[in-house]
Structure formats: structure tokens, C-alpha cells
Structure 1
Amino acid sequence: MLAKTFGSAVYGVDASTITIEVNVGTGTKFFMVGLADSAVKESEQRIDSALKQNGFNMPRQKVIVNLAPADIRKEGSAYDLPIAIGILEASGQIISKNLEGYIIMGELSLDGQLRPIKGALPIAIEARKRGFNSFILPKENAQEAAIVDNLEILGAESITQAINHLNGTEKIEAIKYDTRDVFYHNLSGYEADFANVQGQENIKRALEIAAAGGHNVIMIGPPGAGKTMLAKRLPSILPPLTLHEALESTKIHSVAGKLGANSSLISTRPFRSPHHTISDVALVGGGGIPQPGEISLANNGVLFLDELPEFKRTVLEVMRQPLEERKVTISRAKVSMDFPANFMLIASMNPCPCGYYNHPEKECVCAPGIVQRYLNKVSGPLLDRIDLHVEVTPVSFDQMTADRKSESSTEIRERVIQAREVQSKRFKDQPTIYHNAMMSSQTLKEVCQINEAGKKLLKTAMEKLGLSARAYDRILRVSRTIADLAGKEDIMIEHLAEAIQYRSLDRENWAG
């Protein structure tokens, strides 16, 4: 007897419908066809045990399971449940007349309980697109899939519960989820706040400019100056996620298996902080069937690289193209996938190996030339893609113990949102540009006009401070953002002066 169930395979951040065909006939062997990997083929043993533990039998006949289309590779253990139900239907142990309306996914434990799967959200989106009515999946993934409306989400705890629902003897209650209500309720759910930061007003100002224009930042200063603490607070001053951005970020985390049990929509901007021992594949993504890396998990949020010179050079260099194109393309022999990578990069580093070069109180003990060699671990092309270079100095005791109330993240965010709205109007006819940091050279010439006094200041700065040619465009971008924050249509000389001071690493002989 032939039976069909329907599952789904996730490739990149999208899913494709898979038809599971099961035929039980004369013979004794079990065959799995359709380009299945080892995890899928091992489902025979899990299904055998799960069926016996729940009062069913694995047919002692010839069982052929075909995963169609047969030329697409299938990976993982999430096909256990649809295969098991297909076997029971084909062997006459259950009778369900409406299997064609269900997408079914889930990994089976040996006692028939369902374990969570990866990619429940993109699977649910594809199921709705293909006209399926219901999605049966492990209960731990139900909240995640319930983000998709017009699709009945049925969270099952075991194979018995799923079978009873299909037979009509026990109804699984569909998960109800008001996506917009939950999203807007949790928009400002950040624990870290700039109100708790004493001192460092110049660094807060630099991060406000970065958030307003989408600029990348590098902070350089001695250990204990507060670089990491400040970086962790950057997401709290970025504009709130739109619903579209939230869905996009949630899809990526779902595919990577990073959402966790009973998680739903991501409503705050992601903050990713990988350790400096990370590999280039883990950073940008990869694998046999490519999986998203850290730069994609930071999509619509912040990627923080602490102790930047300690990262392997190959790891840092693979970021250059994604920083420009806002996406990463992973190519393999049989497949090529695009992952979004629209993130803000914020990096921090010590000025030298001992950490105390240019320290106001402690003396640097590094030998001559060591400081420059340490800074040279970060390549020029990567620094070229970082708009703001900020020197962080230690906070004094008086500043730490002062009673003066610091400005909160909410107050700073309001100014950032206003500046972003100005940019949205400016680039409304250019759909690929969202903020000032994304301006092309041509757009830069059009929207960053400066007067003669400004040109004279820029020329003097480049000559006297030894600024490199690559700093020119970056200064104009940053000055445009500073003008937006000030509510000015034209870039004034004071805006240029402030932008120039954020190019410290471009100065000749900065490290002696």
C-alpha cells in the first residue's frame, strides 16, 4: 500500500516542500532513497523503537521510503515523524483521510517523545505559501512557528498525540499568537542602558553618531576603560526593529538552531560577540549544506569583535566583502546560497600588547616598534570600512562616584530615530540605501556638498594630521550624520571638525 506525507527541507534561510512516499509490499528489507544523509537513514532504528513503545509495529515487509524530489540532499533527524506516520498509514495501522493538508516534522526519541527541530519558522512560511492547512511539529517549536498566521500550528509532545489527532480521537489545540502585539510589547526589552554609564561622554557621542548613520566603529584604549561595557549598550540606542526585520532575523536564528525552546519572535536587535578563536567558516557561514555564520546571526543588529588584533587575519579579511555588500554568498560544488549580513561592526582593541600605550597614568613597557607591529595586525582594507576610530580613556574616580545622572538610552535613541527619518526621506528613491554609511561614491558627491571653508579645513587636516586618502569619504559620511543629528541641511565646518577627530588610526606616526 502506498502512503504520502509532507515535510520540508531548509536551504539557506528558506524551505522547500519534501514529499515522503512510503510503500509497504512483499519482501523483508527497509530501503531509504532520495539522497538522504546518515542522520535521515538512521531514522529506521528510532522509528522502530518509538512504534513498539507506543503500541504499534514496524512492518516486517519490504518498506520503501522515497524523499522527493530525489535530487535534493536531505539532512537531519526532523524527518522521523513524517516517515513514521507514512509507514503506519501504508501498513494500515492508522487511517487518516486528510494527510495532504498537513506538513509534519519532528525528531523521535526511542520512547516516541518528540524532540525540537531547526528551521521551524521558514518551514511554516513555506507551508502557508504552498497552501497547507496545518503544521504538526514538536511542542517546543510551536511558539516559533506560530508567528506565521493563516496556518494551524499543532505542537505535539509525542508520536501518539500526533497520531491521535490525525485519527480524530484526541485534538491538539492550535497555538494562538498575536505577532504584532508581542512584537510591539517587547521592542525595548534591553537590560543594558547608557543611564548606568558614568563618564565617557565623548564615547557615548561617538556611538550615538554611529547608531544614527549605521557607521562601523573601532574603540581603542587600555584594559578596563569600558570598551566592552559601552559596546553592549549600542543596540539599546539603535532604532527599533521593523516587523519585517524581526521576521528576517528570527528566520536566520531558527535555521541556525539558536532560538531555544519555546522561543518566538526576536523583537530586539541581535548582539553577537564571538570569541577571537573563531574560524572563518564559523564567522561567515558554511558547511556541506551552508549554515549561517555569526555575521548573519548579527543581521539587523551588532557584531562585536573584542580584542580585534587577536583574531586570525584570515577571519578578519573574509568580512571585507560582506561589509560592503550587506550579504554573504556561500558557494559549494552543488549549491550556492545567499545569507543576509546587514550588521553594524563594532570592534575594540588595546593600543599595544601590554595595553598601556598613551595611558595618562601607567607607562607602556612595549619595546620600540612593537606597538606599530601590533596595530598592523588589523589590515588597512578592513580599517577602510570602519568609519569611526575612537580613543577610550579610563574613567577617573571622581567621575565614577559622581551623583550626576547620565543620559538614558531612550533619550539618545529618540535623537537617533529622528536622524534616521531624515535619511529615509533623503534616500527614498534609492531602495538599496537605508542610512548614510551605505552611500555610494556618486551619492556621496550629491548629498555631502561642503563650502570653501570646509574644503580648506579638510585639506589642512589631511596635510597636518597625515590622514590617508581613504579617510576622505569616511569623514564626509560621518559629517553628514552629525549634521542630521543637529537638524542641519548643510554640512557645517563644526560638523567636519568633529568627524575629523574620529580618524585617529589614520594619522601618520600615531603609534610612534
Structure 2
Amino acid sequence: MVARIQTIAFEGAEARRVDVQVQVMSASRPHFTIVGLADKAVAESRERVRAAFASLGLHLPGKRVIINLAPADLPKEGAHYDLPIALGLMAATGAIPTDAIESFVAMGELALDGTIASVPGALPAAVLANTYDFGLICPAANGAEAAWAGDLPILAPHSLVQLLNHFKGTQVLSRPIAGEIVDHSSTLDMRDVRGQETAKRALEVAAAGGHNLLMIGPPGSGKSMLAARLPGLLPPLTAKELLDVSMVQSVAGLLTRGQLSRERPYRSPHHSASMAAMVGGGNKAKPGEASLAHRGVLFLDELPEFTPSVLDSLRQPLETGEISVARVNAHVRYPARFQLIAAMNPCRCGTGGANGVACRRGIRCAADYQSRISGPFMDRIDIQIDVPAVTPADLALPPSPEGTAEIAARVAQARIIQMDRNGGVTNAELSQDRLDHVAEPDADGRKLLIQAAETLGLTARGYHRVLRVARTLADLAGSETIHRLHIAESLSHRRVHNGMNKAAAHNYQQNSSKPSTTGRNTKNPFYS
């Protein structure tokens, strides 16, 4: 006889159904075998199951036991296979009825004393179980998280003995209650930022349209301070976005006590982050920082200090909203529809002409620093602004009358206009054909855009990103038509990076044979 129970395997942030088949063969010598492309953690399940059974007074049959995890070509990773293997063995040996577990998806890690430890991915597992009209058996610590998936039957025992008693009818396990939606509203306010009116305006536009933003300025100019206040300007997650974000967080094991938050994610990885840490993958195929920022903000401070290959790995998700990791035996996909906010110093020295102080290495420093960021990556950033140093006069100013609440109200209104017109997506996410339809400027605006594209050498992608930002500016102004003023402001928010790179390279060549100038009057290409 073969006992069956369902469990799951993860491919990226998605759950795949796995059929756990248990057979006890009487005419063979004792042996315990797990087949089905299982990793080391799954292979060790037999020892954890053996010890958990011993704690209950049960023993593995002195026969040949075969556990098959089907489909056999799907990689199986993690310790959450302990519980379905244990339940399958119980059913195969008659400890519990076989039909009692056939309609359940089970997941959980067994401790040696028979308690069931929490595992990541309970929410995707519950969603999968609900899709196939199954119930879910999960650890008690994951019950509140799984209860968000719908009205499916859920058993969330603390130990294997509780589950055994439930199936025997001597104890009834009640369905867990879904966790709370907690409010993690930030106390950071835009009133704390003194001066930097241009940067504040750019941040508002970026929040309204979901645009990527790069801030370039000397240390202490407020770049990180501005970025930290962006989540407060963004509208809360919708119901669908909340489910998408929570699924990724569940796979990563970041949901505590089943609590969900409507605040958009904000991730700020260190510039030493590896490729796997940024885009996901690795031995356990976990989501990376880009996926953990799904539907939220990914802030990259000190942008040129990131490894160039790591930055270029973000080019695909910036366009498509997902990450595809090719592995030897599988292709893993992660959702990664994030808003990129980046900050950098004007040069490696950091001064870059701020307060009249010239860079110690002159033009060479800026040219070398800029070259660490590829042109295609820069071309995917909609808004690129200079953030000048804050002066003592700025610091002496009283707080701005407009804070986060007032700006967030304008952002929310602009988002409503976009969602109604664009079919539920922001201007930054619009498809190309749809953008041509909704972002057609008037005659004066078109003329200015064409002139600017020719003068500044905009690429086709840069041309359309100017239009996207202009569409957002029109939405903030409540205008159905994109006018010349909107095009002009959009252009002012896009630094001519390619042109500056050429100028820096030219000046670098002209001065390469000369000693670098360190005087205070040296002109920096970032402000040329």
C-alpha cells in the first residue's frame, strides 16, 4: 500500500505542488530511502523523523521504507518536508487513517522531541492548497500567516502528538486566526529637510509616477535623508499588492506572527552586496533585495561603490518587473517591480566643487567615478538631479509649511488619475504603445522635446522616459494635456549624463599628461 500526502517545493517565490508517496515493503531488509531529487536537508529528514517517532513511543517499521517526492525532476530543498514524510509514514503503518491526510498539504520541520518548528513559505503554501481545494497542515507559529489565504481548513499543531490526537479524535485543533494588519507608519517628515526645494520637488514627482530617481551631491547634502522619507509619500499597498508582497516576504521568512503591513517595503542594501544577495538565487534560491523591495523602494546609497556587474543585473527587472535566474536544473523567477532610488557623491573624494572646494584629483576623479556606472543603467533612471551642499542659511530657515502629509495628498491624487487612465498601473509601468496614446504632448511641447532630444543626444529610451515624467507632472497639475511647461520641467529633472561623460573623457584625455590640479578653482564636470 502507498500512502499519499501533498506538500510544496519553491521555485523562486512560487509554490509548486509535490506528491509525497510512502511505501513500506515487507519482503525486504530494513532500509529508509528518500528519492526525488532531494537535497541534504531533505535527506536528513529520516533522522529527525526517527527521533520524533521515538519521542511519541513509535518506531519506524523494521522493513524497507521508500519515500518518493514527485515530480522527481523538481529540486526539493529545505526542512519543511519532515512533517509530510512523518504523516505519510504514520498513514502507511496504520497509526492514522490513510484518507485523513489525502486532502491536505503539509509542511513543517520536526524537532527531536516531536515539536513542529516554523518554516518559511506558509502563505504561498496556503494559497496553493486553496487553489486545489486542499486543507493545510502547518506549524502553530505559521498558522496566523496561513489563515490569510482564505477559508480553507487549516491545522496548526504545536507538536506531532497534537496532530496524532486530532486524527484519532481525542483532541480537536481549532482553525488559527489570521494575524493583524499592523501600521508601521514612519515618523520621518519632509519638514525635517531644510532647503533642497528642487530635490523635494523631484522626490514628489518620483513618488507620484513611480519613477526611478538618482540624486548626486556631496556628503551631508541630505540625499539619504530624502530617500528615507519617500515611503511616507507613497500610497499604501492595495489588496492585490499586499498579497504579492506578503508572498515574497513569507518565502524569505520575514512575516512575524502572521502580521501584514500596508506600508510599502523599503530596502537599503550595503554596497558590498553580492549578485545573489541583490537579485536572488544561491544554494537555497531565496529572494534577493530587489524582490524584497517588490512594490516598494530599493535604495542604493553610494551607487558607484556597488560592483558594476551587480548594478547591471538590475537592468532587466527595471524594465520587466521580474528577475529570471537560470540554474542548471531550473529557471527561477522572482517578482521585482520596485522603485529605484539611488544616491552618489559627485566624485570619489566627495567634494566635487561643493562650497567652492575643488576635488583633490581634478577632472580625473570625476571621470573615473562616473565610468563605474554603465550608460544603459543610467538610461533607465527617469529622474537625475543634482543635490547641492546645504548652506548655513538653509539650516537657519524655519521648517517648511508643507510636510509629508500635504505632499502625500497630492501624490495620492495623481496616482488616482493614473490608475483610472492607465488601467491600474503607474506612468513608470506603462507599456510603450499605451504611453504613445496617453502621453502625446501639444505642438509646443513636442517641438521642445524634439529639439532637446537632438541637442542633448537622448536615446530612444531616454526620450520616452522624459515623456513619462512629463505625463506625471501633468497629472500633478491636474492637466489632461502635456504642455511645453511639463516637458521643460521633465527635461530639467534629467541630467545629460552621456554628454557629461563625453566631456569628462575629453578633458581627461587633454589633461592626462599634466599633473592633476588641486586648486580651489578647478571646474568639476558634474557642474559644467
TM (normalized to structure 1)? Answer: 0.90
Q: What amino acid is the match of 2:107? A: M
Q: 1:493 aligns with which of 458, 480, 484?
A: 484
Tell me the equivalent position of 2:202: 206
- Once the two structures are TM-superposed, the CA of residue 489 in structure 1 deviates from its matched residue by 1.9
Distance of 2:268 and 2:405 partners within structure 1: 23
Q: What amino acid is the match of 1:327? A: E
Partner of 1:450, secondary structure, is: coil
- Once the two structures are TM-superposed, the CA of residue 90 in structure 1 deviates from its matched residue by 2.3
- Once the two structures are TM-superposed, the CA of residue 444 in structure 1 deviates from its matched residue by 4.1
Instruction: Indicate if the aligned counterparts of 2:143 and 2:178 stay in contact, CA closer than 8 A.
Output: no
Gaps of 5+ in 1: none
The answer to whether residue 15 in structure 2 is matched with residue 20 in structure 1 is no
- Once the two structures are TM-superposed, the CA of residue 338 in structure 1 deviates from its matched residue by 2.9
Distance of 2:432 and 2:396 partners within structure 1: 46
Aligned ranges 1:334-373 → 2 under 5 Å:
334-360=329-355, 362-373=357-368
Distance of 2:430 and 2:283 partners within structure 1: 35
Aligned ranges 1:259-408 → 2 under 5 Å:
259=255, 261-287=256-282, 290-360=285-355, 362-408=357-403
Distance of 2:491 and 2:410 partners within structure 1: 22
Partner of 1:21, secondary structure, is: strand
Tell me the equivalent position of 2:172: 171
Query: Quick check: 484-493 or 65-74, which moved more?
Result: 65-74
Q: What amino acid is the match of 1:479? A: A
Distance of 1:21 and 1:305 partners within structure 2: 46
Tell me the equivalent position of 2:52: 50
Tell me the equivalent position of 2:217: 221
Instruction: Indicate if the aligned counterparts of 2:13 and 2:335 stay in contact, CA closer than 8 A.
Output: no
Tell me the equivalent position of 2:465: 474
Q: 2:106 aligns with which of 101, 104, 107?
A: 104
- Once the two structures are TM-superposed, the CA of residue 449 in structure 1 deviates from its matched residue by 3.4
- Once the two structures are TM-superposed, the CA of residue 243 in structure 1 deviates from its matched residue by 0.6
Deviations 1:26-67 (A, max 9, x none): 331112222222211111111111222232223232222222
Partner of 2:9, secondary structure, is: strand
Tell me the equivalent position of 1:503: 494
Deviations 1:397-419 (A, max 9, x none): 45435443552323212211211
Partner of 1:489, secondary structure, is: coil
Distance of 2:98 and 2:171 partners within structure 1: 13
Tell me the equivalent position of 2:507: none
Tell me the equivalent position of 2:234: 238
Tell me the equivalent position of 2:5: 5
Deviations 1:296-343 (A, max 9, x none): 221111111111101111111121122112222222343223322211
Distance of 1:310 and 1:293 partners within structure 2: 19
Partner of 2:270, secondary structure, is: coil
- Once the two structures are TM-superposed, the CA of residue 144 in structure 1 deviates from its matched residue by 1.4
- Once the two structures are TM-superposed, the CA of residue 68 in structure 1 deviates from its matched residue by 2.5
Tell me the equivalent position of 2:141: 140
Q: 2:474 aligns with which of 483, 486, 505?
A: 483
Tell me the equivalent position of 2:156: 155
Instruction: Indicate if the aligned counterparts of 1:352 and 1:366 stay in contact, CA closer than 8 A.
Output: no
Closer/same/farther in 2, CA of residues 316 and 176 from structure 1, 3 Å limit = same
Instruction: Indicate if the aligned counterparts of 1:197 and 1:406 stay in contact, CA closer than 8 A.
Output: no
Deviations 1:377-430 (A, max 9, x none): 1111111111111111233345435443552323212211211222223323xx
Closer/same/farther in 2, CA of residues 209 and 21 from structure 1, 3 Å limit = same
Instruction: Indicate if the aligned counterparts of 1:448 and 1:476 stay in contact, CA closer than 8 A.
Output: yes
Closer/same/farther in 2, CA of residues 170 and 440 from structure 1, 3 Å limit = closer
Closer/same/farther in 2, CA of residues 63 and 410 from structure 1, 3 Å limit = same
Distance of 1:203 and 1:107 partners within structure 2: 49
The answer to whether residue 155 in structure 2 is matched with residue 197 in structure 1 is no
Instruction: Indicate if the aligned counterparts of 1:211 and 1:234 stay in contact, CA closer than 8 A.
Output: yes
Q: What amino acid is the match of 2:157? A: A
Instruction: Indicate if the aligned counterparts of 1:194 and 1:406 stay in contact, CA closer than 8 A.
Output: no
Q: What amino acid is the match of 1:153? A: I
- Once the two structures are TM-superposed, the CA of residue 71 in structure 1 deviates from its matched residue by 3.1
Give me the CA root mean square deviation. Answer: 2.5
Distance of 2:310 and 2:473 partners within structure 1: 32
Instruction: Indicate if the aligned counterparts of 1:40 and 1:79 stay in contact, CA closer than 8 A.
Output: yes
Distance of 2:476 and 2:239 partners within structure 1: 25
Instruction: State how many pairs are aligned.
Output: 500
- Once the two structures are TM-superposed, the CA of residue 74 in structure 1 deviates from its matched residue by 1.6
Q: What amino acid is the match of 2:20? A: I
Instruction: Indicate if the aligned counterparts of 2:271 and 2:303 stay in contact, CA closer than 8 A.
Output: yes
- Once the two structures are TM-superposed, the CA of residue 352 in structure 1 deviates from its matched residue by 0.5
Distance of 1:386 and 1:504 partners within structure 2: 10
* Identical residues among aligned pairs (%): 43
Query: Quick check: 397-406 or 238-247, which moved more?
Result: 397-406
Closer/same/farther in 2, CA of residues 162 and 192 from structure 1, 3 Å limit = farther
Query: Quick check: 443-452 or 98-107, which moved more?
Result: 443-452
Tell me the equivalent position of 2:508: none
Gaps of 5+ in 2: 504-524
Distance of 1:454 and 1:85 partners within structure 2: 68
Distance of 2:384 and 2:304 partners within structure 1: 15
- Once the two structures are TM-superposed, the CA of residue 462 in structure 1 deviates from its matched residue by 5.8
Aligned ranges 1:49-68 → 2 under 5 Å:
49-68=51-70
Q: What amino acid is the match of 2:102? A: E
Instruction: Indicate if the aligned counterparts of 1:198 and 1:406 stay in contact, CA closer than 8 A.
Output: no
TM (normalized to structure 2)? Answer: 0.88
- Once the two structures are TM-superposed, the CA of residue 206 in structure 1 deviates from its matched residue by 0.5
Partner of 1:423, secondary structure, is: helix
